[in-house]
Amino acid sequence: MSISKEADLIGMQNASAAVAYTLKEMRNYVRPGMTTLEIDEFGGQVLNDLGAKSAPRLTYNFPGWTCISLNNEIAHGIPSVQKIVKEGDLINIDVSAELNGYWADNGGSFVLGEDIHQHQPLIEASKQILRKAIFNIKGGVRISDIGYLIETEAKKAGYKVIQNLTGHGIGRSLHEEPHEIANYRDKFNLTRFKKNSVVAVETFISTASTKALTQKDGWTLIGNKGGFVAQHEHTIIITDSTPIVLTEMNQIWEN
């Protein structure tokens, strides 16, 4: 969507605050021994208390309030009583929601407790690449140039990118134009970022895989060549200078 009036700005700020607060609270809540279903139910209650509705459930009838992906899962992990989180696990929580007609999206990967499997360098790379990408976005910049930046920075750090998962426009629905903000240079994408538009920018930084494959449950994504993936995501408003990071309070860059 394009921010054309103050009501739109306030609506997006409120929706973004809801998803950012929920993500932060969920990350703080997680402890070893919990099931991903417990974590999701907690997040669903936080959203409900804020008056927000789960975007994946509302849009796609996803079987959870949030997406919680564990270890080798890249994204769209279904919360389950059978998935128990352990010390050192690589966990990704993605929270998107609708509030009063406005939609926002954010997510982040983190290590639970002690980093016994050495996932932290991957996470730090994803966080820093997202930061660099976002602060290079302004009206008129080619979307493919930001993809090139993400891919180049990943390679410099010794990683790959997932090519078939992308950021997207957002605002009046979960996915809007531009539909694909890829993590690599898509030479066929000639579109440019537009001033005052709202987008969800996300990194998918990988140790081995370049494609995400859907599993038998119809939702969960894992890599085509195994390994691990870190994802970080913010909803932003594009300006002609520094973007406004609407979900900054989720603190994914700090933690």
CA-to-CA distance for 157 and 174, rounded, in angstroms?
31
Contact criterion met (CB below 8 Å) for 246 and 134: no
CA dihedral over 155, 158, 160, 166, signed as positive or negative: negative
Whether residue 98 is annotated as binding a ligand: the answer is no
Q: Is 38 annotated as a binding residue?
A: no
Alpha-helical (H) ranges within the chain are 6-29, 36-49, 55-60, 120-134, 143-156
Contacts of 156 (CB under 8 A, 6+ apart): none
Under 8 Å between Cβ of 12 and 171: yes
Tokens standing for residue 139: 């009206």
| Residue 249 DSSP class | G
Known binding residue 233? Answer is yes
d(CA 173, CA 197): 13
Nearest to 202 by CA among 156, 241, 247, 141: 247
The answer to whether 240 is annotated as binding is: no
105 annotated to a ligand binding site: yes
Numbered residues of the known binding site for substrate:
76, 175
Numbered residues of the known binding site:
76, 94, 105, 168, 175, 202, 233
Numbered residues of the known binding site for a divalent metal cation:
94, 105, 168, 202, 233
